[in-house]
Amino acid sequence: MPDFREYGVPVVEPGASNAESTHALGVLLRDVMAQNMDNFRVFAPDENNSNRLSAVLDVTNRAWNAATIPGDDHLAPDGRVMEILSEHTCQGWLEGYLLTGRHGFFSCYEAFIHIIDSMFNQHAKWLTTTNDIPWRRPIASLNYLLTSHVWRQDHNGFSHQDPGFIDHVVNKKSDVIRVYLPPDANTLLSVADHCLRSRQYVNVIVAGKQPQPQFLDMEQAIEHCTKGIGIWDWASTDQGRKPDVVMACAGDVPTLETLAAVTILRSAFPDLLIRVVNVVDLLRLQDQRAHPHGLSDQDFDALFTTDTPVVFAYHGYPSLIHRLTYRRANHGNLHVHGYQEEGTTTTPFDMCVLNELDRFHLALDVIDRVPRLRDASAHVREKLRNDLIRHSIYIREHGQDMPEILDWVWNAATSDTDREQATS
């Protein structure tokens, strides 16, 4: 188990409300760079600093072979940050660099990684082919970080909102493809550490650069990422019983909204048995016969049951989750919320509302799916609908999300108190 604190990485404690995941990753990359100055580079078509990875500039510069003038920022011929506004140039550089036996890391705005779709295709096909050539030595994995993602493009708008690269990636052979959706800073560190050590894969990591709540301590994060999928007992209320609903999530914003919806439901329906399942390794959802990381039917059914409603909040296009799980016994009860190609220049939470990924829509969907709640939910439904109206009015008057949205953090003690009060 790596000790990230030993390397100066800012491991974040659970409950922190403003953890910047990619900033912590930047510190990890800085230390990797410092210890591997001759065989490690980072590639960034969309500003390394914009993606919160600026810590690497503590130990190196941006590669630059032209003249410099006073005031230039970290430019030098021996710089190891390859920064140019050209995704396909960065991709070609990185592929060539990996083929020499060295290592790299590619960060990109999520919407524009599609520029290198065909180049990714060829690299994935090459990896698959070389897996059958015994005399060819394995090379370091091609590691993508997709950040500035669909749910936090509130200032750039609709043109910067597209999570579809994941769909493109999973078309390739399962022996070379991995996709990770860490929910917070510590899980991102664990995933990145794993990917940087790996060989012969294309690793896609999706993580936002904006401040987010922190849910797991480092030990919990490593355990969770090692499993790739798991029940979050501290957020669940089923505690060994069959749940009334499974609330699943994959991605940082979907995880936040799921947990916020759980707090609403725990307060309104204290006897509701909720199981929260978080997915870090997306391809754990697939059948083990289709992907080496896939779960067996027994393990999948143990998590999601065979007949319980599942409300799944997903980072990307909902159809991919259905595609990965169509063979599962409970697929008919799987209801996925994700990106519906709705977007504009708006607030972060309004992006979720536009695509029905927000806490209010998730809570309403749970009420719709659990039969015993339908006749007892009128007042809760009314409140949730009113909350959506309040949100719409507030953002138009103030240009930002409501304080209870901006300041929300998971507080298990508060949630349990709400349940106890509702019961008494």
DSSP 225-266: HHHSEEE-GGG-S-TTSPPSEEEEEESHHHHHHHHHHHHHHH
Residue 299: predicted pLDDT:
97
* Number of other CB atoms surrounding residue 265 within 10 Å: 24
pLDDT (0 to 100) of residue 422 = 41
Identify which of 50, 123, 128, 47 has the alpha carbon closest to the alpha carbon of residue 81.
47
> Per CATH, is 20-212 categorized as 3.40.50.970?
yes
In Å, how far from its chain's centre is CA 337? 15
| pLDDT value of position 153 | 76
User: Would you list the domain boundaries of the chain?
Assistant: 20-212, 228-423
Go through 73-92 and write b for each residue having 16 or more CB atoms within 10 A of its CB, e for each that does not.
ebbeeebbbbbeeebeebbe
Tell me the fold of 228-423.
Rossmann fold (3.40.50)
Provide the angle, in degrees to the nearest 10, between the axes of the packed helices 359-369 and 378-398.
Answer: 160
pLDDT for residue 4: 54
Please give the pLDDT value at position 13: 62
Q: Do domains 20-212 and 228-423 have the same CATH topology?
A: yes
Per-residue confidence (pLDDT) for residue 66, from 0 to 100: 87
Task: Please tell me the predicted confidence (pLDDT) of residue 424.
Answer: 40
- Mean pLDDT by groups of 10 residues along the chain of 424 residues: 51 59 89 95 88 92 88 88 94 96 95 95 96 94 93 81 94 96 95 96 94 91 96 95 97 97 96 97 95 95 97 97 96 97 92 97 96 90 97 96 94 53 42
- Report the alpha-carbon distance of residue 164 to residue 319 in Å, rounded: 11
CA distance 97 to 89: 12
